[in-house]
Amino acid sequence: MKMRRNLNRYRFFLPGRLILLLVPVLLLFPGDGQGADKTFRVGFTVPLTGAFGKDGSLVKDAYVFWKEAVNSKGGIEVQNRRYPVELIFYDDKSEPQTSAKLVEKLITEDRVDLLLGGFGSSQIMAASAVSEKFRYPLTSGAASTLRLFDRGFKYYFSLLGKAPEEVRGCVEILPSLSPTPKSVAIIGANVPFSADAADGFRDYAQKLGLRIVHFELFPMSLSDYNSLLSKVKAKKPEILLVGSHSLVAIRTMKAMKEIDFSPSGVFFSYGPTVPDFVDSLGKDAEYVFAASEWTPNLPYRDDFFGSAGEFYNRYVKRFNRSPDFVEAASVAGAFIQQQAVQELGLKPPLKDPDREKIMKFLYSKRFDNFYGPIRFAPDGANEIHPPLVVQIQGGRPAHVYPPDAAEAKPLFPMKPWKTR
């Protein structure tokens, strides 16, 4: 794995550890005359610092997992020869403009063969504009704002559904709960994904005839969550729906406890599936619902990773934690580009006509693997992946909706803070 960064900024680049980092590279690419044409150079930018640093590190782990899985078999097999994968990635610092500049660097200076998406709709908006300019397919498992899909792009592919669709299950589950909620409050961070998610919550709530007692978007930089949630608490909603990222979700839950705000249920568009949510909140994370697009109990499989459950177990063994659904989606995005290269018989280094073939291949097929069904609409969205709902039960996300595939029943209503 080739990493180009300011070495002084990261603890794992301390001199005493640098040799350990280089050893696997030397083992992977021994001095036998191998050049760039003997490996697939795969690039991505991802936030490892800044507002989305913890979320972005999950996507990085996903691509490392994919690379290691591929290289454990000798590399990507093309026409009876195997080509190892080399990852080249940069920290975009949660800054869209930095992401765009680094993607162009990956293409024009590092001359990567394939591109993968990072984390966050704003970052992916910027990155995919560059990949479209240079006609590089970019598969993304961690961005779903509507704005990604209305630009007429041909080279952007999302493993996720669109943001409003992702949260549909969080509203559809409400009539099945007892006592049945009648009122909701909706808040969301005013950045592309979470704002779209808040709009999705509102649209589906209106369709179900729920009473919306409060709707508000707030800046991502908000520090005073207590005041915001005190205002919401005064409206006495039965359900709180939050357009969120993991940092927003954690801050919301901490503020709810501090002001003793205990609605019957709280649902997030993103955050509780990230391991840091439970790590940060402990038992206070219990009862929380969240949108998801993958769980390991689903009956999905492929010949490379095996079943969803087998993928999950291998991931836990590698990183000593459960994978978030965006990690599963990100691995799946890399995997379908791998499949494209294999089925098209493309050898490194790839040329522009090769990447055009990959683009057309991705549109032409339905993929079924450990992540589930994937078929891309003309705008690049995954049009057949169903939205799910999970709930933190016993310290982990349990699949609770739709009921025909659920592994657990919803725990409802949420226990008030004072009785826990």
Predicted local confidence at residue 164, as pLDDT: 96
pLDDT at 7 over 80: no
Q: Residue 238: what residue type?
A: E
Q: Tell me, what amino acid is at 148?
A: L
Distance between CA 244 and CA 194 in Å, rounded?
Answer: 5
The three state secondary structure string of 252-270 is HHHHHHHCCCCCCEEEECC
State how far the Cα of 166 lies from the Cα of 194, in Å rounded to an integer: 11
pLDDT tens readout for residues 114-163: 999 999 999 999 999 999 999 999 999 999 999 999 999 999 999 999 99
pLDDT tens digits, residue range 31-79? 333 444 799 999 999 999 999 999 999 999 999 999 999 999 999 999 9
Q: Please give the average per-residue pLDDT across 339-356, as a whole number.
A: 98
Contacts of 8 (CB under 8 A, 6+ apart): none
- Find the distance separating the first CA and the last CA of the chain, reported in whole Å: 46
Return the pLDDT at 386.
87
**Rounded mean pLDDT of 288-313?**
98
Q: What percent of the chain has pLDDT over 90?
A: 90
Q: Look at strands 388-393 and 372-375 and give their pairing.
A: unpaired
Task: Give residue 28's pLDDT band: very low, low, confident or very high (50, 70, 90).
Answer: very low
Per-residue pLDDT at 278 exceeds 50: yes
Q: Three-class SS string for 206-272? A: HHCCCEEEEEEEECCCCCCHHHHHHHHHCCCCCEEEEECCHHHHHHHHHHHHHCCCCCCEEEECCCC
Name the E strands within 92-144: 114-116, 138-140
Residue with tokens 């063969």: 113
| Closest of 183, 180, 175, 130 to residue 156, by C-alpha | 130
Average pLDDT score, the chain: 92
pLDDT reported for residue 385: 86
Please report the pLDDT score of residue 31 as a whole number: 33
Predicted local confidence at residue 418, as pLDDT: 94
| Residue 343 φ then ψ, to 5° | -70, -30
Half-sphere exposure of 109 (CA within 13 A, CB side): 9
Give the pLDDT confidence of 227-246 residue by residue, as tens digits: 999 999 999 999 999 999 99
Give which of 399, 379, 374, 376 is closest to 389, Cα–Cα: 399
Instruction: Output the CA torsion sign for 26, 136, 118, 172.
Output: negative
For residues 261-277, give the mean pLDDT: 98
pLDDT score for 10: 35
The answer to whether residue 30 scores a pLDDT higher than 50 is no
CATH number of 2-161+298-375: 3.40.50.2300
Q: What is the pLDDT of residue 15?
A: 36
The ranges assigned to domains in the chain are 2-161+298-375, 165-292+387-419
Measured between alpha carbons, how far is 97 from 354 in angstroms, rounded to an integer?
28
| pLDDT (mean) for 172-179 | 98
Does position 1 have pLDDT exceeding 60, yes or no?
no
Query: Of residues 371 and 20, which shows the higher confidence score?
Result: 371
Band of the pLDDT at 296, cuts 50, 70, 90?
very high
Q: How far apart are CA 299 and CA 99, in angstroms?
A: 36
The pLDDT assigned to 218 comes to 98
Reading the block at residue 164, the tokens are 């409003």
SS3 214: strand
Topology of domain 165-292+387-419 in CATH is: Rossmann fold (3.40.50)
Fold matches, 2-161+298-375 and 165-292+387-419: yes
Q: What pLDDT score does 47 carry? A: 98
